[in-house]
Amino acid sequence: MTLNKDSKIYVAGHRGLVGSAIWNNLLERGYTRLVGRTHSELDLTDQQAVHRFFDEERPDAVVLAAAFVGGIMANSLYRADFIMQNMKIQCNVISEAYTHGVQKLLFLGSTCIYPKNAPQPMREDCLLTSPLEYTNEEYAIAKIAGLKMCESYNLQYGTNYIAVMPTNLYGPNDNFHLENSHVMPAMMRKVYLARLMHDGDWLSIGRDLDKRPVEGISGASPRQAITQMLAKYGIFDNRVVLWGTGTPLREFLWSEDMADASVHVLLNVDFSDIIGIEKYSSVHYGATTNGAVDRDHTAGRGGALPQLGEIRNCHINVGTGRELTIRQLSQLVAKAVGFQGTIEFDASKPDGTPRKLIDVEKLHRLGWTHRVEIEEGVSRLFQWYCNSLQS
């Protein structure tokens, strides 16, 4: 099912880390009929608002990159929000996409969907084989539900909804909040602020906090208040304290690589390609006399194709297939930031999943491989962060 340069594409979450990169990637490829809404313009948890939006815009394709996200601390504090907000977003967007005849939908999940002790590297078919990691269970369950919605709509209604599961992402427009950001940007900001404290560069510390205040503390706050707040997050003069033991292994993917993979899948991969059955396309995507997709509610039911057997795990892992420990990551960050102080690990705090390396064989088979390696990416991210403080 082909999208052309005149197709209208709605990118949900177009201001976020991945959404903004996907938006730019599409523009670079000549897809200019892009639609985006900020959270203040469209609350995706509001069912009626989402319905009105689809009535007005009638997109040909949807990229669902909007989500309620955060790191270990945020996942622990806001468990109800993580499952409820994400379920609402997914249900509203996917159901309205179907109701309004969207040709193609790309759903972005996360590799936290896999069991805590899944065999490494994690293949798509290890989904739901054993318990999840407790610290991000709610977010994982929501994302599993999202990929199952895509899979189930395809099997029942013959839609073309593809789910991609990216590994840990980082890059331009990342969230550097000290409480609810992911591991790399939080670590980078902490190391940077500790370096500035050692340098006595309070002007730059103030600029940083003016750009991204923490708990109401900005550059205008008294120095003592700033110092106390930073200490709460493990930031001291030439010393940083990070959560956990530093031993968990993690895989990281540059967000612009993720965007390129996402757009590659959106433009070149159909559900029939993923399940490897050519006949599926002709059975489920029967064209009507006017060329539109036939979405008769009975024609595409999975029960109509018993010869296909059980179809599951149709999502696609997106990553590099490379990993490093959190301690090794901290060393790369320190090098990029120019930090020569001490990095300590607080083993009383949770580590999260011990290892999260994904198998990317399916992705490679579908024609895409990553470009940016972690060493280059960390330096790029720090440069972006410094530039963001000047704007």
Active site residues: 139
- Residue in 281, 260, 252 with CA at minimum distance from that of residue 367: 260
Q: Give the three-class secondary structure for 290.
A: coil
In this structure, what are the phi and psi dihedrals at residue 153, rounded to the nearest 5 degrees? Answer: -65, -40
Sequence-separated (6 or more) residues with CB below 8 Å from residue 193: 205, 208, 230, 235
Q: Counting beta carbons within 10 angstroms of the beta carbon of residue 32, is it exposed (0 to 12), middle (13 to 18) or buried (19 or more)?
A: exposed
If you ran DSSP here, which 8-state letter would residue 180 be given?
A: T
Report CA-CA distances (Å) from 244 to 117, 247, 282, 327.
Answer: 18, 8, 51, 10
| Buried/exposed 340-366: b ≥16 CB within 10 Å, e otherwise | eeebebeeeebbbbebbbbbbebbeeb
Element (H, E) at 257: helix 255-268
Q: What is the dihedral of CA 89, 90, 95, 97, to 10 degrees?
A: 90
Q: Tokens 């690589």 identify what position? A: 257
* C-alpha to C-alpha distances, 114 to 46, 128, 144, 246, 358, nearest whole angstrom: 29, 7, 9, 21, 9
